[in-house]
C-alpha cells in the first residue's frame, strides 16, 4: 500500500515527542520513588469480605483496611501495597496461597488478561449477592437517607453471550503477560493482534480467539479477519507511531437475527478495502449490514466520521417486547437486549402510568425507555443533549407508529422553561437515566423545581445515584428500590429507584 511521506514525518515527530514526554515522566517517577521507602510484601493475608467496584477487603495487623482487586472473600493471598493512606491502603495480590471455597474455574481462556468478565472465578449466584450488597451499602453510606426494603436483585437470564455490541481493535503490538515475558531472556519481536485493548494500555491489544460475550458469528468473524489479513499482509494500526491501515471492527448482533458489521480503516485503499469487505461478506454468513468508516484521526471515536454502507441496509432493527428500534453504527442502545427488557419493565411499573400522565424521559438517548413506556402515557417528552440520538428517537417513534412521543435536543435546565411547559404540559412522571457520573447539580435543582409527583431514577452507578438521592431528599421520599444485573461476571450493577413527592 502507498504511504504518505508527509504523514509519516508528522507521525515520527509525534512519536519523538511522546517518547520524550514518557522519558521525563519516568525520570520524575524515579526521583519520587527513591524518596519513598519500599513497602514490605505482605504474606498470608485473608480476604474477609466484598467491598464494591470489584474490590474486596482484608485487615492488616494494625487494623488498617486493605482493598484488593481480583480476589474472593475467603482467599488467602500474598500482596504488596500500591497505595498507602492513613486509615486504608490498596494492595495487589502477588500469589494465591489458599483459594476460597467460593472460587470456581473460569470458563474463558483469556480470563485475567483481557480485562473483561473479571468475576468469572465467582459463581453467578454469589455475584448477585455481592451486587445486592453493593447497592445496599452505597445507598446507605453515601445517600444517608431513609430507605425502603431493597427488592431482591433481578439476575440476567443469560450469563454468557448477552452483549449485542462488541468492538475489536487491530494493533501492531500484541500484549504479553508477565509470565510470558519471564519465560524468555531475549527481547520479543513485535507481533500484531486483533482483540481487546489490554487494561490500562492504549497501544497493546490482547489477541482474542474465543469470546463468550456475544453469539456467533462474532468468533467466526475474528477468525476470518485474522486469517485473511495475515495471508495478504494487511497492516494493523500502530497506536504509538499513529500509522497503519486496519483500526477497528464493530459487530452488532440483534435478537431479530439481523447483524451489522462496521470495519474502521485509517485511510482509503479501494482495492484492498473492496477485497476485504467482499471476503467478509462471502465467508461470514448472516450479515445484513456491512459498512466501513475511514478514520484518520488520532482517537478511535467515529461519531464525527461518515459511515458508508457497502452491502445491505444502513441499519439493523432490535426489538424490546413489541417495540422495534433502528440501530445504526453510531446509535447507543442497551448492550444486553434481553435484560434491558427486564430493566425497562421495572421502570414502567414504577412509573405507575394510567394513560393520563405526561411522561418526561430525561437522558432519553434514542428514546428507548420512553417508547417502551408509551402505551401508558398520554404524552412522552424525551430530552437528550446528543442531537444525533434525538434524530434516532424521532425515527424510532415513527417506526412504532407513535405520534404522542416527541423528542428535543438540549440540556434539561435550558429546555424545560415555563414556555416549554405551557406548550407540552408539566410532567406527572419523570424517568431519568443518566450516565455513570449521575445527574448534574443543576439538573437535580431543576427536578426539585419541576416537582413531578413521581420520579423514576434508573442508574448504572449506585454510588452517584446515592449522592443524587440525598439531594432529592429535600422534596422526595424513596418508595421502592430494585437492583437489576445487566452485566454478569462484572462488578457493574443497575438500580432503579422510585421517588414520590413528599
The per-residue DSSP string of 107-158 comes to S-TTTTTSSS-TTTTS-HHHHHHHHHHHHHHHIIIII-S---PBPPPB--S-
Sequence-separated (6 or more) residues with CB below 8 Å from residue 349: none
Q: Quick one: pLDDT band at residue 362, thresholds 50, 70, 90?
A: very high
The architecture of the domain spanning 128-158+336-501 is 3-Layer(aba) Sandwich (3.40)
The model's confidence at residue 323, banded by pLDDT at 50, 70 and 90, is: very high
The residue from 108, 211, 373, 460 that is catalytic is 460
**What is the residue-averaged pLDDT of the chain?**
90
Q: Determine whether 435 is exposed, middle or buried from the number of CB atoms within 10 Å of its CB (0-12, 13-18, 19+).
A: exposed
Does pLDDT of 251 surpass 90? yes
pLDDT value of residue 139: 96
CB 351 within 8 A of CB 373: yes
Phi-psi region of 475 (alpha: psi -120 to 50; beta: other; left: phi over 0): alpha
Residue with cell 474477609: 48
Based on the residue annotation, tell me whether 108 is a catalytic residue of this protein.
Answer: no
CATH of domain 165-320: 2.40.50.1070
Residues with Cβ within 8 Å of 282's Cβ and at least 6 positions away in sequence, in order, are: none
Are 445 and 118 in contact by the 8 Å Cβ rule? The answer is no
Look at residue 12 in the predicted model and tell me its pLDDT: 41
Can you read off the three cell numbers belonging to residue 311?
452491502
C-alpha closest to that of 169 among 145, 148, 198, 141: 198
pLDDT at 185: 64
**Residue, of 177 and 481, whose pLDDT is higher:** 481
Query: Each residue of 186-211: b (16+ CB within 10 Å) or e?
Result: eeeeeebbbbbbbeeeeebbbbbeeb
Residue in 334, 290, 288, 283 with CA at minimum distance from that of residue 309: 290
Rounded Cα gap, residues 246 and 86, in angstroms: 48
Enter the pTM of the model: 0.88
Do 42-103 and 165-320 agree at the fold level?
Answer: yes
Nearest to residue 391, comparing CAs of 430, 365, 370? 365
**Residue closest to 111 by CA, chosen among 209, 225, 221, 185:** 209
* CATH top class, domain 42-103: mainly beta
pLDDT of residue 39: 63
Q: Where are the domains of the chain?
A: 42-103, 128-158+336-501, 165-320
Provide the grid cell at 60: 492488616
Amino acid at each position: 500500500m502507498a504511504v504518505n511521506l508527509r504523514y509519516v514525518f508528522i507521525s515520527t515527530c509525534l512519536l519523538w515527542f511522546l517518547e520524550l514526554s514518557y522519558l521525563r515522566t519516568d525520570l520524575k517517577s524515579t526521583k519520587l520513588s527513591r524518596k519513598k521507602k519500599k513497602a514490605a510484601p505482605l504474606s498470608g493475608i485473608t480476604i474477609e469480605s466484598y467491598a464494591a467496584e470489584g474490590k474486596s477487603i482484608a485487615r492488616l495487623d494494625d487494623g488498617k483496611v486493605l482493598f484488593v482487586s481480583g480476589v474472593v472473600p475467603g482467599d488467602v493471598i500474598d500482596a504488596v501495597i500500591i497505595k498507602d493512606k492513613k486509615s486504608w491502603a490498596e494492595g495487589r495480590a502477588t500469589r494465591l496461597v489458599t483459594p476460597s471455597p467460593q472460587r470456581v474455574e473460569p470458563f474463558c481462556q483469556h480470563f485475567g488478561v483481557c480485562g473483561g468478565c473479571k468475576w468469572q472465578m465467582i459463581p453467578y449466584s454469589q455475584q448477585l449477592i455481592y451486587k445486592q450488597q453493593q447497592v445496599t451499602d452505597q445507598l446507605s453510606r453515601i445517600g444517608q437517607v431513609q430507605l425502603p426494603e431493597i427488592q431482591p436483585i433481578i439476575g440476567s437470564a443469560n450469563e454468557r453471550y448477552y452483549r449485542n455490541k462488541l468492538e475489536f481493535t487491530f494493533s501492531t503490538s500484541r500484549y504479553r503477560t508477565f509470565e510470558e515475558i519471564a519465560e524468555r531472556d531475549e527481547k520479543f519481536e513485535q507481533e500484531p493482534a486483533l482483540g481487546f485493548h489490554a487494561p490500562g494500555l492504549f497501544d497493546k491489544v490482547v489477541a482474542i480467539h474465543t469470546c463468550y460475550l456475544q453469539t456467533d458469528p462474532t468468533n467466526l468473524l475474528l477468525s476470518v479477519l485474522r486469517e485473511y489479513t495475515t495471508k495478504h499482509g494487511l497492516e494493523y494500526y500502530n497506536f504509538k507511531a499513529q500509522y497503519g491501515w486496519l483500526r477497528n471492527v464493530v459487530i452488532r448482533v440483534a435478537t431479530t437475527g439481523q447483524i451489522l458489521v462496521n470495519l474502521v480503516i485509517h485511510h482509503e485503499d479501494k482495492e484492498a478495502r473492496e477485497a476485504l469487505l467482499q471476503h467478509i461478506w462471502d465467508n461470514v454468513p448472516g450479515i445484513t449490514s456491512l459498512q466501513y468508516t475511514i478514520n484518520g484521526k488520532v482517537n478511535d471515536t467515529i461519531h464525527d466520521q461518515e459511515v458508508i454502507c457497502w452491502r445491505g441496509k444502513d441499519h439493523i432493527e432490535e426489538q424490546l417486547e413489541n417495540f422495534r428500534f433502528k440501530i445504526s453504527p453510531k446509535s447507543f442502545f442497551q448492550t444486553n437486549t434481553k435484560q434491558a427488557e427486564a430493566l425497562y419493565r421495572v421502570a414502567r411499573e414504577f412509573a405507575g402510568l394510567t394513560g393520563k400522565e405526561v411522561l418526561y424521559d430525561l437522558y432519553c438517548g434514542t428514546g428507548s425507555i420512553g417508547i417502551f413506556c408509551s402505551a401508558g402515557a398520554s404524552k412522552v417528552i424525551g430530552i437528550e443533549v446528543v442531537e444525533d440520538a434525538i434524530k434516532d428517537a424521532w425515527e424510532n417513534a415513527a417506526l412504532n407508529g407513535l405520534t404522542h412521543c416527541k423528542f428535543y435536543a438540549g440540556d434539561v435546565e435550558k429546555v424545560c422553561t415555563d414556555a416549554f411547559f405551557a406548550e407540552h404540559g408539566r410532567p406527572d412522571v419523570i424517568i431519568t437515566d443518566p450516565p455513570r457520573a449521575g445527574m448534574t447539580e443543576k439538573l437535580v435543582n431543576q427536578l426539585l423545581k419541576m416537582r413531578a409527583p413521581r420520579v423514576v431514577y434508573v442508574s448504572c452507578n449506585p454510588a452517584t445515584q446515592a449522592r443524587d438521592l440525598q439531594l432529592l431528599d429535600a422534596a422526595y421520599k424513596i418508595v421502592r428500590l430494585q437492583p437489576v444485573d445487566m452485566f454478569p461476571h462484572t462488578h457493574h450493577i443497575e438500580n432503579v429507584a422510585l421517588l414520590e413527592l413528599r
